[in-house]
Amino acid sequence: MPQLPPLNGLRAFDVAGRCLNFRAAADELGVTQGAVAQQVRQLEAHLGVPLFERLPKGLAFTSAGRSYHVFVAAAFEALRNATEQLKPEPRKVLVSVTPTFAAKWLIPNLPDFSAKHPDIDLRILATEKASSFHSDGIDLAVRQGKPPFGASLDAHLLFRQEVIAVAAPSLVDGYDLPLDAKALSSIPKLHDSHNLWPEFLKLHNIEDVAGHRLRLSQTSLSVDAALFGQGAALVSRFLVEGEIAAKRLIQITPQTLIGEQDFYLLSTRKTKQNPAIEAVISWFLEQAEK
């Protein structure tokens, strides 16, 4: 295997090639101008090829030096990138959430987070699959379920599962609110993957009769369809509190479904070693309290 050129010489050549001036290169490297010139001469001697033309007011590449510098600069850039990947990023926090939670709760609240924690790089992984703390490299996860979630995980309760029926004002215009059983039976309904309408209608002693149905894969899509007056949607209350407050949606019946699949923020036991992750946990809990 051929011997590598002297690394100090390569470093001096890399910087001198960017500056095309030994003095400027010396300032960047924190050494004397003579030291940079000597390291470059030693590299040229090792290679047996002149790399620079020495000019009265600086340097110019030889044809060999110009092509060699392209490879040397790329090699040092690769080393810098590889080293950066190894460094811990204490101010970066990756949170795994469902697309519905991201769209209907987290994103609307992000301005508050950015204002309070401008130094934290919060990254959001929105996915329906259960992300792995180990293989996916996540720091926190929002899950709907029932503890325990795992011996190595801490679960922080965010929201109880309280499902309500909502619709756009235009959809129920002409009906008396809250809707009675007959009206609730007649209006179009939006179904998502949770398929909660049969259970919800049992609260009103209504059978799940066939009729206008729009089926969507995510609750967030059902909420969007409800906003456009396409039907009534069933959704956890906290996800639509903003839309209700703005009167873009209204709760059409006082009955609610209370389930056991509450919303939790999960973290590993190692998070206490990272102040940024602890700050994100505190922010989630504070916002949930509101």
CATH number for position 167: 3.40.190.10
**CA trace torsion 32, 81, 272, 120 (10° rounding):** 90
CATH number at residue 68: 1.10.10.10
Residue 156 domain flag: no
Please give the pLDDT value at position 204.
80
Please state the φ and ψ torsions of residue 138, each to the nearest 5 degrees: -80, 155
67 and 112 inside one domain: no
Please give the pLDDT value at position 90.
58
Residue 264 domain flag: no
> What pLDDT, in 10s, does the model give residues 77-103?
999 888 877 766 558 899 999 999 999
Peptide bond connecting 275 to the previous residue in cis, omega within 30 degrees of 0:
no
Please give the pLDDT value at position 1.
47
Q: Which of 86, 120, 138 is the last residue of a domain?
A: 86
Structure tokens at 178: 């809250």
12 and 80 inside one domain: yes
Q: Residue 284 to residues 99, 261, 287: CA-CA distances in angstroms?
A: 17, 18, 5
What average pLDDT is seen over the chain? 88
**Whether 261 contacts 145, CB under 8 Å:** yes
Please give the pLDDT value at position 212.
59
**Whether 68 contacts 114, CB under 8 Å:** no
| DSSP one-letter code for 248 | S
Locate all alpha helices (DSSP H) within the chain, ordered by sequence: 7-19, 22-29, 33-47, 63-86, 99-101, 107-116, 181-186, 197-202, 219-227, 237-245, 275-289
Please give the pLDDT value at position 209.
58
- The C-alpha atoms of residue 22 and residue 20 are separated, in whole angstroms, by 7
- Give one word for 61, left, alpha or beta, with left for phi > 0 and alpha for psi -120 to 50: beta
- The C-alpha atoms of residue 265 and residue 234 are separated, in whole angstroms, by 22
| Residues 6 or more apart in contact with residue 117 via CB below 8 angstroms | 279, 280, 283
pTM as predicted:
0.65
173 and 243 inside one domain: yes
Percent above pLDDT 90 for the chain: 60
Domain that holds residue 56: 7-86
Residues in the chain, pLDDT under 50: 1
One-letter amino acid for residue 94 of the chain:
L
* Domain count across the chain: 3
60 and 13 inside one domain: yes
| DSSP one-letter code for 146 | -
126 and 172 inside one domain: no
Residue 157 domain flag: no
Please state the φ and ψ torsions of residue 11, each to the nearest 5 degrees: -65, -45
- The C-alpha atoms of residue 242 and residue 228 are separated, in whole angstroms, by 16
182 and 253 inside one domain: yes
Residue 63 domain flag: yes
Please give the pLDDT value at position 167.
95
Residue 233 domain flag: yes
82 and 117 inside one domain: no
Structure tokens at 43: 């590299």
